[in-house]
């Protein structure tokens, strides 16, 4: 098997959607695909064996976080990240560039740093990355990242430049960071025509069901986001009609599963009433069962989207899905974001670590 290859299996003539197959030394990935986020070399509360059971073929980890703890040397001593975390499938490691945006109070900006205001400087970073890959002759597949904020001309220019560099795939960064959805879709309409067709496209940070389906229609293949597991931990579970709050009183005596059509471990084995009880009492088992449900939902949706593309029925599938699925209201999403931000600020004020790069100094 080659170290990395991408094959387009089917395309939708009415949209930019496509179904593909990515071959890697660690396994095959069929696209479109959702990748659960395992920032610290773990998908929170879910074991690698359970990820395999729900159908996960690739997970995402974060190079920046793991560099800080436990450290690259320790991971290397254990035989690499796969051996360290007991995961034998493909892993996509994020460079950590998003942390430059999200953790601005900790960053220092310089030409040698990770943030560049000039669109040309962003591209110099990409050139340096390719040079390092050639120097070490690593078999890892590098994806170039398209930037350009919310400026159509910069996005098109970046997509053209990055798309013509010898990267194995293309990632689209700097979107899904709080901008209106209409802006996200507009940027993709500018980016996709500039990208090479023979490389997989990864849209960073998108993981809600409705956004997944829409972004596939705009030419994206791979998606990662902590949203499915994060909202699960807060009681939000996906169903074909939209997200439900499992702590709601209506689930207190519900004998059936969270969703009758769901084939996940949680729905096969537990009543919605029991899951409701676990969530209301904040039992640790709930975080596992809720996360498994949402991850399986996203993977089942990805399989349905792929099947529709291959069958030539994707536009009808997309329209029916979006008509039936009610997204969480924007005000609810904003309220959740503010709660998470407030919790981080409160922890910071109390001297509690809110992440691996905010550890308290030794006394």
Q: Residue 150 domain-assigned?
A: yes
**Contact criterion met (CB below 8 Å) for 185 and 214:** yes
Residues acting as catalytic residues = 94, 224
Tokens encoding 162 = 């990055």
Q: Residue 12 domain-assigned?
A: yes
What is the pLDDT at residue 344?
A: 66
- Whole-angstrom distance, CA of residue 60 vs CA of residue 75: 16
pTM over 0.95: no
Tokens encoding 142 = 């590098």
For residue 358, pLDDT over 70 is answered with no
Residues 225-239 have a mean pLDDT of 96
* CA end-to-end span of the chain: 52
Segment 152-177, tens digit of pLDDT: 999 999 999 999 999 999 999 988 88
Give backbone dihedrals phi and psi of 261, rounded to 5 degrees, phi first. Answer: -80, -5
For residue 45, pLDDT over 80 is answered with yes
Report the share of the chain in percent with pLDDT over 90: 72
Lowest-confidence region among 5-9, 95-99, 124-128, 160-164: 95-99
For residue 138, pLDDT over 80 is answered with no
What is the pLDDT at residue 24?
A: 96
Split at pLDDT 50, 70, 90, the class of 314 is very high
Segment 91-100, tens digit of pLDDT: 999 866 665 6
**Contact criterion met (CB below 8 Å) for 242 and 327:** yes
Q: Residue 249 domain-assigned?
A: no
- Whole-angstrom distance, CA of residue 43 vs CA of residue 27: 19
Lowest-confidence region among 135-139, 213-217, 225-229: 135-139
Q: Residue 42 domain-assigned?
A: yes
- Whole-angstrom distance, CA of residue 201 vs CA of residue 215: 11
Residues 341-359 have a mean pLDDT of 58
Burial pattern 106-130, b for ≥16 Cβ within 10 A else e, equals eeeeeeeebebeebeebbebbeebe
Domain span at 71: 5-226
Q: Residue 98 domain-assigned?
A: yes
Q: Residue 250 domain-assigned?
A: no
Whether the bond into 70 is cis, omega within 30 of 0: yes
Q: Which residue has the tokens 């601005």?
A: 104
**Contact criterion met (CB below 8 Å) for 9 and 261:** no
**Contact criterion met (CB below 8 Å) for 256 and 269:** no
Q: What is the CATH number of the domain that holds 62?
A: 3.20.20.105
Segment 288-300, tens digit of pLDDT: 999 999 999 999 9
Q: Count how many domains the chain has.
A: 1
Residues 131-141 have a mean pLDDT of 76
């Amino acid at each position: 098997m080659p170290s990395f290859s991408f094959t387009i299996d089917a395309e939708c003539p009415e949209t930019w959607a496509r179904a593909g197959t990515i071959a890697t030394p660690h396994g095959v990935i069929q696209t479109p695909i959702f990748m659960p986020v395992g920032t610290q070399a773990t998908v929170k509360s879910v074991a690698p064996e359970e990820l395999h059971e729900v159908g996960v073929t690739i997970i995402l980890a974060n190079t920046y976080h793991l560099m800080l703890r436990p450290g690259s040397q320790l991971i290397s001593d254990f035989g690499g990240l796969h051996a360290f975390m007991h995961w034998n499938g493909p892993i996509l490691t994020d460079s950590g560039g998003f942390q430059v945006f999200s953790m601005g109070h900790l960053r220092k900006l310089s030409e040698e740093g990770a943030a560049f205001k000039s669109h040309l400087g962003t591209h110099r970073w990409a050139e340096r990355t390719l040079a390092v890959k050639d120097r070490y002759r690593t078999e890892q597949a590098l994806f170039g990242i398209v930037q350009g904020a919310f400026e159509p001309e910069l996005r098109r220019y970046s997509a053209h430049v990055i798309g013509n560099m010898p990267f194995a795939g293309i990632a689209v960064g700097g979107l899904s960071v709080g901008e209106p959805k209409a802006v996200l879709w507009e940027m993709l309409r500018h980016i996709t025509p500039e990208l090479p067709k023979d490389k997989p496209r990864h849209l960073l940070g998108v993981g809600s069901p409705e956004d997944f389906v829409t972004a596939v229609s705009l030419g994206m293949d791979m998606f990662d986001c902590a949203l499915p597991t994060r909202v699960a931990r807060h009681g939000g579970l996906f169903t074909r009609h939209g997200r439900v709050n499992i702590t709601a009183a209506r689930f207190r005596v519900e004998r059936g599963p969270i969703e009758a059509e769901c084939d996940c471990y949680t729905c096969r084995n537990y009543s919605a009433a029991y899951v409701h009880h676990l969530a209301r009492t904040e039992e640790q088992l709930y975080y596992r069962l809720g996360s498994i449900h949402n991850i399986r939902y996203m993977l089942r949706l990805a399989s349905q989207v792929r099947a529709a593309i291959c069958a030539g029925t994707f536009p009808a599938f997309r329209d029916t899905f979006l008509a039936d699925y009610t997204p969480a209201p924007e005000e609810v999403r904003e309220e959740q974001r503010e709660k998470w931000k407030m919790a981080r600020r409160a922890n910071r004020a109390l001297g509690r670590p809110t992440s691996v790069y905010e550890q308290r100094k030794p006394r």
